[in-house]
Amino acid sequence: MKIQLNRISFGLPTKAFFIDYTVSQKRQLPVVKEFIIRVLHSVGKSPVSLIQDYFGFTAAETQAVLNDLIEESLIKWSDNEIELTAHALENFEEVQGNMLPRFFEVVDKTDNVFFELSEFRMLPKTVQRSGINSTSISLPLPDQCYSKLNDKAMSAFDSNFEHFREVVKGEDIYSEREELYKINHVNGKYDLSIPIPVEYYIDTDAPDVLQTAYEDPNLDEWDINKSLFNYMDAAISTKPYSDATKDFSDYISATDDPILTQYWDDKTSSINLELLLKHHADGTAHHSKETQLIVGNLYSDFNSQALTERLKEIFLKKPKSSGLIWLSKGDNATWGRTSEFGVLLDSITSLFDNRKKTSKAVIALPCSSVSEAIEQRKVYRNRDIDPALIGCEKQFGGENCEVMLIPNIMVACLLHLPTTDERNISLPVGYVSFAPELIESVTSNIIRWADSNNNLNDFFERRGTPEEATVLYRYFSQILAQE
């Protein structure tokens, strides 16, 4: 059984180039001209009167059409006789037993072509995206990838012109014959970062093997050798130290998780992950109908869909409560770094009654300075999503605990377990519950946590914001206070 653990969007450094080039392409002759050419190909040198009498032309009409053919270097006219030039004879092809003329002309063209900078491959329209996805993690490329860009673009365009026509432009290269004649000019225009969505998953038969895949099948076809995966691994290679026993103890104290306690092994000081995943695959790990095991981040494909569908059913009954509090884990380097994070957030907040002051999503993020808040805001509050942000010095439930709470309606808690992989991808396990007693318990724990030890701070607030207008007083406390 496949279980998606995380989804990450990586920003692929890309540059747009203006390319001015010339192509040679098939030219269709007018019917009369083509017929004259075909007649001369069949009979050879002929008197001008043959053409004039065959078509019933006047002397002036005959003169005009033959002058055109001479100008195009297709016939020679000498001593009142005409014949095909060597150029014309060379451009006949046998088609189903008939010899037909196939002529070409040169045409100037211009295009904007996008190249990714790691291997200077063209980006097809199925991969190109507009704008910048601020949630993406930038891919680190070697310095040489940014040098002599115009020369690289010219070389790549020359070597891959047929690919450009077929894949990038979507042209039929078999019925529309066209060849690159020359490249006149190449000029770099602007830089952009293309979001490349990737999923990280495990299989219950091999839970120790973290696997990677593109979420978009078009990317699979484009990067068939998966060469970008090496850069992605380098971008998320660091992994913070984790104390499994302390993490589990802090998490259980904060969330009262009724499921993970069944799988904790005191002898190994770890969760029996093999047994947990087996029960998850069998569907036997749930605590009750209202409290069920979840594996993977909340915005993973299965969990996101399941949460949204259940909440839609609940909000059809127009509950009194609204508003969401999402407490992130301590190390959020790879947490929420996908557009699917915003999709889940938006799908839930769209269910709220906007007339209520509590109808807002609040995300609590680890933050210890104004500069850090600025960087966090770029990722978690942008043109796609608009939650209220609040900083915290000490994480609720420990460094590897994550909680999403909709008071009186739902609570979802995750413990982010470390994996044996070198990449900073955790294995989130926990529960989602719609049981009132668990929701009330976690809500009370969050209130106590927020009120003690100055855990929350105002680094995300604008300077001079009055206390009553801060996220803490305007949203966070109001959402928690709902009965």
Return d(Cα 464, Cα 472) in angstroms, integer: 15
Name beta bridge partners: 294.
Answer: 430
Q: Could you tell me the residue ranges of all domains in the chain?
A: 29-100, 244-480
Return d(Cα 426, Cα 416) in angstroms, integer: 5
Give φ, ψ of 208 to 5 degrees. Answer: -85, -10
Residue with tokens 């190909």: 41
Return d(Cα 250, Cα 400) in angstroms, integer: 9
Q: What is the pTM of this model?
A: 0.83
Return d(Cα 66, Cα 135) in angstroms, integer: 66
Total residues belonging to the chain: 483
Of 111, 217, 125, nearest in space to 168 by CA: 125
318: left (phi over 0), alpha (psi -120 to 50) or beta: left
Which fold would CATH assign to domain 29-100? Arc Repressor Mutant, subunit A (1.10.10)
pLDDT of residue 24: 83
3-class SS at 396? Answer: coil
CATH code reported for the domain at 244-480: 3.30.870
Which contacts qualify for 56-62: CB closer than 8 Å, 24 or more apart?
none
Burial class (CB in 10 A: 0-12, 13-18, 19+), 437: exposed
pLDDT of residue 239: 67
pLDDT of residue 127: 80
pLDDT of residue 334: 93
Burial class (CB in 10 A: 0-12, 13-18, 19+), 157: buried
Q: Which residues of the chain have pLDDT under 70?
A: 105, 128-133, 239-240, 383
